[in-house]
Amino acid sequence: MFKKMRRIKQQLSDNNTIEILEKCKTGILGVLDENGYPYTIPLNYVYKNNKIYIHSAKEGHKIDAIKNCDKVSFCVIDKDDVVPEKLTTYFRSVIVFGKAKILEDEKDIFEAAKILGLKYNSDIDFIEKEIKRFWNSLSCIEITIDHMTGKEAIELVKTN
């Protein structure tokens, strides 16, 4: 169902791919809107137990698109170093394909928002206070990963 990476020597191990998902702070979510157009959104996320969690307002383009089609892609860029003298980029990135679900259960929403908040701020009391403050407008989305690959520039493969 998913294509094999063409440049297999550049593929990262599953462990390295997960490390990137765990450490990076921003990803780009790709959805398909109701008019058939791709729509991409940069956002904060957290990776936990083979799932990605993001927060959102309860309404908007992203929410409408997920309701229209639950298949999504998600990209995280770990390294993006342009090397002008070689006219190339030393990159490392991850691409995820999965299915997005808008969480409905209050307990699930709270837990997703909490683990997301704790990735960016370790003060649990502050996180829980902020979740409660924005509760009425808060939505959380869970992406179940169907397939993921990490890839790096061939120049980086040679140095490992």
Provide the number of structural domains found in the chain. 1
Taking the C-alpha atoms of residue 141 and residue 51, their distance in angstroms, rounded to an integer, is: 10
Yes or no: say if 138 and 113 are a contact pair by the CB < 8 Å rule.
yes
- Judge whether 160 lies within some domain: no
Is a pLDDT exceeding 80 seen at residue 40?
Answer: yes
Specify the pLDDT at position 158: 66
Strands (E), the chain: 26-32, 38-44, 46-48, 51-57, 71-83, 88-102, 138-152
In a domain, 91, yes or no: yes
Task: Give the structural domain span for 108.
Answer: 8-153
CA distances from 68 to 73, 101, 149 (A): 15, 11, 25
Q: What pLDDT score does 91 carry? A: 83
Tokens 């397939």 belong to residue: 147
Scanning 24-138, the segments in alpha helix (DSSP H) are 61-68, 106-120, 124-134
Q: Please tell me the distance from the alpha carbon of residue 70 to that of residue 48, in angstroms, as a whole number.
A: 19
What pLDDT, on a 0 to 100 scale, did the predictor assign at position 41?
96
Largest Cα separation within the chain, whole Å, is 53
Domain annotation covers residue 137? yes
Q: Is residue 60 part of a domain?
A: yes
Is 64 within the bounds of a domain? Answer: yes
Residue pLDDT, tens place only, 91-143: 889 999 999 999 999 999 999 999 999 999 999 999 999 999 999 999 999 99
This prediction has a pTM of: 0.90
The answer as to whether 2 is a domain residue is no
User: How does strand 138-152 pair with strand 88-102?
Assistant: antiparallel
Closest CA to 46 of 63, 28, 21, 70: 21
- Specify if 1 maps to a domain: no
**Residue 70: pLDDT above 90?**
yes
Give the 3-state secondary structure of residue 59. Answer: coil
We report the CATH number of the domain holding residue 141 as 2.30.110.10
